[in-house]
Amino acid sequence: MATQGNRCCSRAVVVRPHRPSAVACSNRVPNDPYARLPDVRDGLTRIERVILYELHKAKEHYGDRHVPSALLYGRVVEHVNISVDEFQRVLARLVGK
């Protein structure tokens, strides 16, 4: 099997380095102290707003069925650095329990 440059068996071989998704990285908020302060308009913090937005998107995707909290946590973590315990506390506060 003869290889010439980047060609092997008359097919081009393209090697691309792995780069993380630009969308997932650009939406992530670093540990910003202001992300945990409530907004004066509605009293929601950035984390609460992201949770509600991702819950809305998941309900649209799954047809208004119940959304598992693990799935919701996975969607929220793409945008905000949050631990599982803190996510559960914020979710409980939003639900009112």
Task: For 36-89, write each residue's pLDDT tens digit.
Answer: 778 778 888 899 999 999 999 999 998 877 899 999 999 999 999 999 999 999
The candidate with the shortest Cα–Cα distance to 49, out of 90, 9, 7, is 90
Contact 55, 72 (CB under 8 A): yes
pLDDT at residue 36, as a whole number: 72
Higher per-residue confidence, 36 vs 4? 36
Q: pTM, whole model, 2 decimals? A: 0.63
pLDDT at residue 40, as a whole number: 77
The candidate with the shortest Cα–Cα distance to 91, out of 75, 74, 69, 58, is 69
For 17, the token pair is 């380095």
pLDDT at residue 26, as a whole number: 45
pLDDT at residue 97, as a whole number: 64
pLDDT at residue 19, as a whole number: 44
